[in-house]
Structure 1
Amino acid sequence: DMNEPIPGFVLRCLDGSHRDVELLKYSAADHCTLYAVCDVTRPQLNEEIAQVSTRERRRIGQDLHDSIGQLLTGISLLSRSLANNLRRDGNPGEEDAAQISELADDASNQIRQISRGLMPADIVERGFFASLRDLARITTDSCGIQCEVRLDETVDFNDGAVETHLFRIAQEAVNNAVRHADASQIEIVFSVENGRPQLQICDDGTWKKAADHMSGIGMKTMHYRASVIGGNLTVGAVEEGGTHVVCRLEAEELFETKVV
């Protein structure tokens, strides 16, 4: 049996680098004690990367809403006022001014939807399945890419962190399809296969273009999130040339399947 854990500490290596380590103490046979040093630097770094990614999404979303969103609102109001003045004077430029106002309104709505996608309401409070539907709708409305969902909602999660990490994996996969794979269609599927919940994101984009970005921070963060919730993440190409992302949950204590 393992005794009380020993607090972690920082170990300086011969090359001058520093590693975060934990010392594990085990009671063995014949009154012997075994010690093991566990390097926890990488898990901590992955967690920090995931936290930074979430903070940056929120910051960018807030900046878009507060700066560009307000500028577009101002353009729309001024254009509408100009259109009214031109209409009173019988100036044919009134239609152009009105069209500028409409375009500014459309752009403002798209900025608002993108901002909501970058900094969604609390996923646990909103609900995992509702958040996935919102993600698909926002992607379709703001990016002009058909994004559909097929959800088996017979699963209850026992830990809100599982819902959050799964949603972020879906969000990152959709983002990769939009930005890097030149996809025109995306499908988000949540199903139960052989008693195990499974999240899939498929697109019809170009696998080679997506593969060029597989070593980026976004992909590493997806793998980290999957590992935190005891999941197995795989990314590969589909026959049609697109990308197929699958996250399969293995830890039974994290979910329950409802009987319908």
Structure 2
Amino acid sequence: MTFRSKILVLAVGPLIVVTLAVTMLLTWQSAKLARSNSAAFEEAMLRSKEGEIANLVSVAMSSIQSVYEGAGVDDAAAKERVAAILNSLDYGKDGYFFVYDYAGNNVVHPRQAFRNGRNWMTLVDPDGDRVIRELIAAARSGGGYHRYKWQKPSTEAVADKISYVVALPKWGWVLGTGAYLDDVAVQTSAANAALRERTRQSFIIVALFAVPAVVIVFSTCLYLTLDERRMADGALKQLTQRVIDTQESERTRLARELHDGISQDMLGVRFAMELAGRHAETTELKEAIDESVKGLNATIREIREISHDLRPRVLDDMGLAAAIKNLAEKFSLRTGLALTMDMETFVDDLSPDARTALFRVTQEALNNVERHSKATALEIRLWSENGRARMQIADNGLGLPSGFIRQNEGLGLQNIRERVAHFGGIVIIGGTEKGTRLQVMLPRSAALADAATKAA
């Protein structure tokens, strides 16, 4: 992972983690609140049901109070009258009063007549609860509530039910009524669904804010990173070009000094030695002077070659095509490679810097061919296409090594890429069936008119 990638991860990673943590915490808190509200809602519904059935039992007690208080322990007529009153006090499809004696015998049950006169002390609901026994125990202990499962008259389905019972101790009776709780379950389920929907909406709202925030921060970091990289690359290109310009300026100065200074001085020395040779008195002295003149001539030629390599005058005097042709022909003579050149369609309208860059690219390419390719033939093409300069250098040598990637390029190829990249050009290096091909493409902006416009 690169340093920029690490910075990006360090910038965006904590935001994503915090966003996920906040979202998870919000979801967990919402679910917890939903469960708490659901439990509170269900508890409130139960309390409401309990209060309702307790009030109904109070109403029933009030309706039979005068009869019950004026009757004796074994007053059968009073018992029948009370039973009739309670049978008539029904409310709704599933609302009724029931009466059992302490022994578990049913006395009043207006919705399930088959229970009248029978003993139900051993009755057990689906949960294993001894319903009648527990109701009698709650009533005899002073009255109370009991929750169990019982058949609902309107649907004949077994449902949760809560009953409130009180005792009529003089007769040994238990009076009570109850409320079925399936509607509580339905309302609780509806409330839970509503809470879940609100939780989902809250999550969506958080996501609508969090996701764009993460995207914005990520985009900002990415933009800043790319902008910094662009600025750094621009500064690096400018620095590279300044180094190249400085090198070219120094090459030009050294070439001028070698050609106009040292070379001319040595020519003067050669003329003086030739003059001295003509006036030499002995044959031995004349031969020694002639040998020195030959060595001096070789040194002068070498200095001129160095001067030409540093900055060929033909590049400034006759243009790029002539300079590359001169360079390639000397290369062919020195190495013995068969040379093919095609420059007929080239229009030399390049700026001086672009012209120098292509010449240096050619120099570097020929050096690589000589050092690495072991080629026997070389082809150089230079042409213009739609106002853009193009160059191709191909050999029939060993080609690129297997597994070659750009990161494995040497300093020479990197210099080629840097020179061309300064003008916004493209360098393509690839292998052929036998050999290597280097292609260089410069944009229109490298032309002399475009360069002058930019400078203006």
Q: TM-score range by the shorter chain?
A: 0.5 to 0.7
Question: Quick one: which of 287, 302, 317 aligns to 1:110?
Answer: 302
236 and 121 in structure 1: CA distance in 2 versus 1, 3 angstrom threshold? same
Question: Quick one: which of 90, 93, 115 aligns to 2:283?
Answer: 90
122 and 73 in structure 1: CA distance in 2 versus 1, 3 angstrom threshold? closer
Counterparts of 1:182 and 1:83, CA distance in 2:
46
Counterparts of 1:188 and 1:231, CA distance in 2:
18
Alignment of 1:160-171 (within 5 A): 161-171=353-363
Which consecutive segments of 4 or more residues in structure 1 shift more than 6 A?
193-196
46 and 112 in structure 1: CA distance in 2 versus 1, 3 angstrom threshold? same
Tell me the C-alpha RMSD between the 2 structures. 4.6
136 and 84 in structure 1: CA distance in 2 versus 1, 3 angstrom threshold? same
SS in 1 for 2:283: coil
Identify the residue that residue 440 of structure 2 maps to in structure 1.
247
- Checking the alignment, whether the CA contact within 8 Å between 1:188 and 1:199 is kept in structure 2 is yes
Scaled by the length of structure 2, the TM-score of the pair is: 0.37
188 and 43 in structure 1: CA distance in 2 versus 1, 3 angstrom threshold? farther
SS in 2 for 1:102: helix
Alignment of 1:38-187 (within 5 A): 38=227, 39=229, 40-56=231-247, 58-59=249-250, 62=254, 65=258, 69=263, 73=267, 76-77=270-271, 80=274, 83-84=277-278, 86=280, 88-91=281-284, 94=287, 97-121=289-313, 126-137=318-329, 139=331, 143=334, 149-155=341-347, 157=349, 161-178=353-370, 186-187=378-379
Identify the residue that residue 233 of structure 1 maps to in structure 2.
427
154 and 191 in structure 1: CA distance in 2 versus 1, 3 angstrom threshold? closer
Identify the residue that residue 23 of structure 1 maps to in structure 2.
none
Greater strand fraction, Structure 1 or Structure 2: 1
Cα distance, 1:74 vs structure 2: 7.0
Counterparts of 1:110 and 1:183, CA distance in 2:
26
Counterparts of 1:51 and 1:218, CA distance in 2:
18
The residue identity in structure 2 corresponding to 1:41 is A
The residue identity in structure 1 corresponding to 2:327 is L
The residue identity in structure 2 corresponding to 1:231 is G
180 and 77 in structure 1: CA distance in 2 versus 1, 3 angstrom threshold? farther
- Checking the alignment, whether the CA contact within 8 Å between 1:113 and 1:138 is kept in structure 2 is no
- Checking the alignment, whether the CA contact within 8 Å between 1:72 and 1:104 is kept in structure 2 is yes
SS in 2 for 1:91: helix
- Checking the alignment, whether the CA contact within 8 Å between 1:186 and 1:202 is kept in structure 2 is yes
Identify the residue that residue 190 of structure 1 maps to in structure 2.
382
Q: Which runs of 5+ in 2 are unaligned?
A: 1-5, 8-218, 448-456
Identify the residue that residue 199 of structure 1 maps to in structure 2.
391
Greater helix fraction, Structure 1 or Structure 2: 2
Of the two structures, which has the highest relative contact order with CA contacts closer than 8 Å and spacing of 6 or more?
A: 1
SS in 2 for 1:155: coil
Q: Which runs of 5+ in 1 are unaligned?
A: 1-12, 15-33, 256-260
| Cα deviations by residue, 1:47-69 (Å, 9 ceiling, x for unpaired) | 42343245335535617827874
Scaled by the length of structure 1, the TM-score of the pair is: 0.59
How many residue pairs get aligned? The number is 219
Alignment of 1:1-16 (within 5 A): none
- Checking the alignment, whether the CA contact within 8 Å between 2:387 and 2:444 is kept in structure 1 is no
